[in-house]
Chain A
Amino acid sequence: MTLVFTLCSVNYLAQAHTLGDSLREQNPDFEYIIGLVDKLDTKDIDKSKLPDYQLLEVDKINIPDFVGMCDRYDITELNTAVKPYYFDYFLKNRPDITNIIYFDPDIIVFDKLKHLTKNLAENNIVVTPHMTTPYNDTKWQSEEDIINTGIYNFGFVAIKRSEEAQKMVTWWCDKLEKECKIDLCNGLFVDQHWAEFFPVYFDKVFIDKHLGNNVAYWNLHERVCSFVENSWVINGNIPLQFFHYSGYLIAKPNEVSKYQDRISFENRPDIIPLFELYRNQLLTNNELYWKNFKCDYIKPKKVQRLVRVRKYAKMPLEKLASLIEKL
């Protein structure tokens, strides 16, 4: 049995709903669970709008130091930090499940994932790189931006139940308990950058370069999309597996993604229908309703008080330090 899960807060339920619908259509034999980094009963929710999929709230999966993590992390960090804990929960509580696949909620699956299940049968872990050929330009994001945040995009990762995968999940949980930060100068970028270690630390980690996987702004420079005989294909003949609408906002329908300036709808008319399709499905799945709910785990921004007192208290030592520095 294969289990697919995603992670989001209530404000992203339209996306998770859309992903679920695409899975149901293409892969009806997969079980689908929405991991909710949020609480349902604190909100006044119109139950009729809830997607018809299992919801598993994060406070139900026994994360050992969840309180500490809520305290340490901002909402982006927290949402990503719980990912390995869900894997761990499913490995331990669902012995009937062999393959576990994670997708970001802003993904649509376009095909029966036979290619992926075959690769999982032969490997322990499957990851997808952001790109498989150089950019050869000076646009944003650059090749070094990708290095800084992670070669493999963690909007997707899949594991097969195995000793090696459990080892990976345990180590990954351990790292993300305290070091799921965005702190680029110190090598940290949420859960994703840690994945750089996977092929080095663990056996049978497959770097899946199939061009139909995880198609998104970061690899559209090497992938042309077209609709041929009722299905989407990449570069003329490679079946599109899943498309990742990372950074796309319904409120800004003319922008491909808020994280880049390489790909636009003007220079890439081939992707326009893919985004129209997405926009329509999100609207059908009540995006405008869900987007306004505030996540229970958002914390107020820390305001530093007594700024002046701090400055003066530090002054003598700071003066000494700058003197010594020049020696």
Chain B
Amino acid sequence: MASSPIIFTVCTINQLANALVLGDSVKIHNPDFEFQIGLVDEETNIPNFIQSPYPIIGVKSLNINGFGGMSERYTHEEMVADCKPFFAEYFLKKTEKLLFIDCTSVIFQSISFIDSLLNKSNIIITPQLLFANVHPDEKQILNSGIYHAGFIGLKNSVETTKFLAWWGNNTRQKGFKNMCKGLNADQLWLEHVPAMFDGVHILKESGINIGYWNLPERNLNQLKSNSKLYSINYRDRAFPSEYTEKLNKHSYKKLSKITPKYGFEDPNKPTFGKTIASKIRSVNKLVDVILDKFIS
């Protein structure tokens, strides 16, 4: 078994440039960690102009039980999230300590402290928010998940094996994104983790996994000047120019046009028309307000 911990990410081919940028940042700051990519597609579909310096493992080699059904039920985005527990199981066969980082992330300095935290815990999960009363709408976070699935540490242990089997079973069957039903692909299942498993560490480190959801409560400049900035996750926000530059070096523009092989296009994806329509409908709500006033 490899002695060095593995950092892995999971992505589709259209996100491969992101994964490579993450891998480059790991290589610079954490040469003591191995970096590997789980691909929710087939390796043979990767265009020839991509030469990855990091091992890429295609999802087929995991032989996920019920994979065909998942691909029929889930969107592309759900597929990537819902395959995560299975990739984690796969990599834990090769290492004692494993860290998952979202492919849209970049690390800025060594995160070796995770390695020592895993000596004392089985599972590390990362809250979306850390400070009460700062985020302008905390209920959004309640809805999508107190813990963010973009940064998870795992130690090879009986408890972790139990956790991954349970998590995978849920993402296989109920990996939909439907917040009205308490479902958010792989992420909302993490709510149960501190109650259901032993040795769970809740990582309260404000320089880890900074994303649009916690920007209101994190001071980037302060973190930088205190050397406490560890990782930023650019998921679902406009990429800043320095990140885009790095992506472009890995043919981001060409890769991002490739349709993922598994799952389907999200029919509820916000389009320009839908956004305008919902704005028009919100104007219509004024009718009720005015009529209610008029009646009373």
> In chain A, what residue has the closest Cβ to B188?
A147
List of B residues within 8 angstroms of A148 by Cβ: 181-182
Of B87-95, B101-109, B131-139, which binds chain A? B131-139
A146/B133 contact (C-beta < 8 A), A200-B202, A318-B281, A318-B284 known: no
The tally of residues in A whose CB lies under 8 Å from a CB in B reads 51
* Interface: A196 (CB within 8 A): yes
Quick one: given A186-B143, A188-B139, are A321 and B133 in contact (CB under 8 Å)?
A: no
B141 CB contacts on chain A under 8 angstroms: 187
Q: What mask results when residues 287 to 327 of chain A are scored 1 for a CB within 8 Å of chain B, else 0? A: 00000000000000000011001100110011011101111
Binds A, one of B72-80, B189-197, B237-245: B189-197
- Shortest A253–chain B CB gap in Å is 31
B195–chain A nearest beta-carbon distance, Å:
3
- Decide: A200 near B130, CB < 8 A? Known: A194-B142, A314-B287, A317-B280: yes
A193 interface residue, CB < 8 Å from B?
yes
CB-defined interface of B108-138 with A at 8 Å, one 1/0 digit per residue?
A: 0000000000000000000101111100001
Known A174-B133, A201-B130, A325-B274: A309·B291 in contact at CB below 8 Å? yes
In the assembled complex, which residues on chain A have CB atoms less than 8 Å from the CB atom of B181?
A: 144, 148, 184
Instruction: Quote the shortest CB–CB distance from A319 to chain B (angstroms).
Output: 10
B142 near A201: Cβ-Cβ < 8 Å: no
Decide if B272 touches A187 in the complex (CB within 8 Å): no
Mark contacts of B266-292 with chain A using CB atoms, 8 A cut-off: 1 yes-contact digit, 0 otherwise: 000001111011101101100110010
Q: A151-B192, A201-B130, A325-B274 are in contact. List 6 more A-B contacts (CB 8 A).
A: A132-B195, A143-B170, A147-B192, A200-B202, A314-B287, A320-B280
Do A200 and B146 contact each other (CB < 8 Å), given the known contacts A148-B182, A306-B295, A325-B273? yes
Instruction: Identify whether the interface residues of B are mostly helix, strand, loop, or mixed.
Output: helix
Q: How far is the CA of A304 from the CA of B12 in the complex (A)?
A: 49
Chain A contact surface mostly: helix
Choice from B146, B195, B274, B277 contacting A131 with Cβ under 8 Å: B195
Question: Which bucket holds chain B's interface residue count?
Answer: 35 or more
What chain B residues lie within 8 Å of A199 (beta carbons)?
194, 202
A185 vs B182: C-alpha distance in the bound complex, in angstroms? 8
A174, A197, A313: the one within 8 Å of B146 (CB): A197
CA distance A188 to B202 in the complex (A): 23
Q: How far is the CA of A146 from the CA of B271 in the complex (A)?
A: 32
In this complex, what residue of A is CB-closest to B129?
A: A200
- Residue-wise, chain A 43-58 has the 8 Å CB interface mask toward B (1 for contact) of 0000000000000000
Q: Which residue of A lies closest to B131 (CB)?
A: A201
Q: Across the interface, which residues of A come within 8 angstroms of B192, CB to CB?
A: 131, 143, 146-147, 151
Given contacts A200-B130, A306-B295, is CB(A187)–CB(B202) below 8 Å? Answer: no
**Contact partners of A201 in chain B: CB under 8 A:** 129-132
Among candidates B140, B170, B182, B280, residue contacting A145 with C-beta atoms closer than 8 Å: B182
Can you show 23 pairs from A to B with CB atoms below 8 A apart? A129-B194, A131-B195, A133-B196, A134-B196, A147-B192, A148-B182, A151-B194, A179-B139, A185-B143, A186-B139, A187-B179, A194-B142, A196-B142, A199-B202, A200-B127, A200-B130, A209-B195, A309-B291, A318-B284, A321-B277, A321-B281, A327-B272, A327-B273
With an 8 A cutoff between CB atoms, is A207 at the interface? yes
B244 to chain A, nearest CB (A): 28
Chain B positions 173 through 213: 1 when the CB is less than 8 Å from some CB of chain A, otherwise 0? 01000011111000011011011100000101000000000
B132, A197: Cβ atoms closer than 8 Å:
yes
CA distance A317 to B283 in the complex (A): 8
Residues of B within 8 A of A131 (CB): 192, 195-196
Expressed in whole angstroms, the Cα–Cα distance for A146 and B174 within the complex equals 14
